[in-house]
Amino acid sequence: MTSSVEHRFVEVNGVTLHIAEQGRGPLVVLLHGFPECWYSWRHQFGPLAAAGYRVVAVDQRGYGRSEQPDDIGAYSVLHLAGDVIALIHALGEESAVVVGHDWGAPVAWTTALLRPDVVRGVAGLSVPPQPHGPAAPLPALRSLLGDGFYQLYFQEPGVADAELARDPATSFRRILFSGSGDSPQTDPPRPWVIPSGSTLLDTMAEPEELPGWFTEEDVDVFVREFSAHGDRAFTGGLNWYRNIDRNWELLAPFHGLRIEVPALYVGGDRDLVRAFPGVDRLLASLEETVPGLRRSVTLPGCGHWTQQERPEEVNAELLEFLSSLNA
């Protein structure tokens, strides 16, 4: 499935990033989320490359085979968007379509917001764009969901890091299954909230059997890709969460700016993100937030891992969107 994908390293903004690449043509950059890597896009390489696109999936900073800066502050959304722009140019291109899932979606949306001269189209999976609000996000989430909300649990350096790195195979298995449309925990979807005295993985049952879209072989690949960072395997990704309020501060100068480039949104109706406070309003106002929105798609029965759970539907939407940009 990914046998013709080529791997190499690219230096951007003083950080070495690992990329996986296939095909020739207009550039499409794929941005994964937490806790993932380039392999999350394994089902997209072949179809997009066959349709005439140069497909590049990157291990974003802190993930997989890419470099993991020590400074928590090095994982702000401006660093991440800067990596995308630098990567596009390092690949010898002037522009690209950027596609992001989970945390990769805010990076994609922000890059399109700030650099419409470079991003000629943007697609977000799972996470819709969130306009800059009047208050920092984490205190509001604490008041609504309590200290056990997983994004708050992730704030203390070293805690979730050690928990998830103790047995990476179990971590990947439980996190990916529990957030999927195949899990009882997403019927209906609800945010991950950890009871006092428990851990994130305590709230997720070990699946008796993995669904067809996610096999033990896939688990092995994720474990292998994260192995270079040892007991800090998840620290880079967790550091993204530790910049949530800082991102709000950094994006304050761009309050009121809207995403004008052509855009696509795809999400599942069993995605836990849909149960986050205010997301229903974000989805209802997408056309206002994103004037360039071409299409918003809801996949019935799909959970959080959009392009892995429903590759055929996602590929069809991406190809139609990409084709519309070339018309």
What number is the average pLDDT over the span 119-141?
Answer: 96
Tell me if residue 160 falls in helix, strand or coil.
Answer: helix
Closest Cα partner for 289 from 100, 138, 95, 112? 112
CA dist., res. 180 & res. 126, Å (int): 12
Number of other residues whose CB lies within 10 A of the CB of residue 186? 23
Spatial CA neighbour of 149 closest among 199, 106, 191, 198: 191
Kindly report the length of the chain: 327
Specify whether 304 is catalytic: yes
Active-site choice (18, 43, 101, 304): 304
The average pLDDT across 72-85 equals 98
pLDDT of 155 reads 97
By the 10 Å C-beta count (0-12 exposed, 13-18 middle, 19+ buried), 138 is classed as middle
Decide if 56 contacts 28 (C-beta within 8 A). Answer: yes
- Catalytic annotation present for 280: no
Alpha-carbon distance values, 321 to 24, 55, 86, 144, 236 (Å): 18, 15, 24, 36, 32
Please state, rounded to an integer, the average pLDDT across all residues of the chain. 96
245 within 8 A of 136, measured Cβ to Cβ: yes
Kindly report, residue by residue over 27-47, the tens digit of the pLDDT: 999 999 999 999 999 999 999
What is residue 205's predicted lDDT score, i.e. its pLDDT? 86
pLDDT band at 327 (very low <50, low <70, confident <90, very high): low
User: Which structure tokens are listed for 177?
Assistant: 């299954």
Confidence of residue 58 (pLDDT cuts 50, 70, 90): very high
Per cent of the chain over pLDDT 70 is 99
At position 294, the amino acid (one-letter code) is R
* Model confidence at 2: pLDDT above 60: no
210, 173 in Cβ contact below 8 A?
yes
Q: Which of 102, 161, 182, 271 is catalytic?
A: 102
Q: What's the confidence (pLDDT) of residue 326?
A: 81
pLDDT attached to residue 134: 93
**What percent of the chain lies above the pLDDT cut of 90?**
97
- What pTM was computed for the model? 0.97
Per-residue pLDDT of 173-231, as tens digits, reads 999 999 999 999 999 999 999 999 999 999 998 999 999 999 999 999 999 999 999 99
Residues 78-100, mean pLDDT to the nearest whole number: 98
Taking only the tens place, the pLDDT of each residue in 269-315 is 999 999 999 999 999 999 999 999 999 999 999 999 999 999 999 99
Question: Cα–Cα distance between 264 and 272 in angstroms, integer?
Answer: 20
For residues 180 and 29, give the distance between their C-alpha atoms in angstroms, rounded to a whole number.
Answer: 24
